[in-house]
Amino acid sequence: MLAELGFSPLRVAINGSLRPSPTGGEDAFAGRRPDLALVLDDRGDATPVCVRLREDDELGEVPIVVSVEPEDLDLSPEMLVVHELIVAPFTTAELSARIARARRQAQGVGEDEVVRSERLELNLATYQVTVEGVPVDFTYMEYELLKFLMTHPRRAFSREALLSRVWGYDFYGGARTVDVHVRRVRAKLGSEHATKVKTVRRVGYRWED
């Protein structure tokens, strides 16, 4: 499901020092801060892990979403360290909504924070995009790319820079991933706004109102 939302999920085991390590012993984060922590709580004992995630200085305010089984739903005060709880089984749409709410809580985005470009609006609190007053569905990474470009107008970014600033790490798909997402973003923006995502030859892309 995370892949469907535009993430590149990495399954890790939390060791005693809270430094996640995948199979092979390499550092899972490679020195980079993850965008989200999705804790799969299949034994009803996620609270200690979530507390340690919130207290870890290197991870900072990473949004924490905990997936629990119905019989393990825990609403005790100790679970206030979690940004969102989601009861399994759940749909991709519900997970997307929970992630958006967790990010709002973690980052403290105000409900009235909206980025506008004529009749194009990005609501930073609800992760919604409206074009000419009509809501348009964007995947998580499509939204993040559009948000980054709109909030850094008139500045050209290379594909490598966009991978680093938007995706947050060296994405396995390479620079072509940026081109694919730009094409999808333009298609969803429609002819009126698609031309605002300018192609800068031999460099990358920029946003131009």
Model confidence pLDDT, tens digit, residues 13-65: 655 444 444 444 344 444 455 677 888 766 666 777 777 777 765 565 678 88
Spatial neighbors of 51 by CB under 8 A, at least 6 apart, are 78, 81
pLDDT reading at 158 higher than 80: yes
Whole-model pTM: value is 0.51
* Segments in the chain forming alpha helices (H): 47-55, 92-107, 140-150, 159-162, 176-189, 191-194
> Measured between alpha carbons, how far apart are the two ends of the chain, in Å?
34
User: Residues 100, 147: contact at Cβ < 8 Å?
Assistant: no
The rounded distance, in Å, linking the Cα atoms of 64 and 112 is 23
pLDDT at 77: 52
pLDDT at 20: 47
The rounded distance, in Å, linking the Cα atoms of 73 and 124 is 29
Place of tokens 């979530």: 50
pLDDT reading at 199 higher than 60: yes
Q: Report the chain's mean pLDDT, rounded to a whole number.
A: 77
The rounded distance, in Å, linking the Cα atoms of 69 and 65 is 13
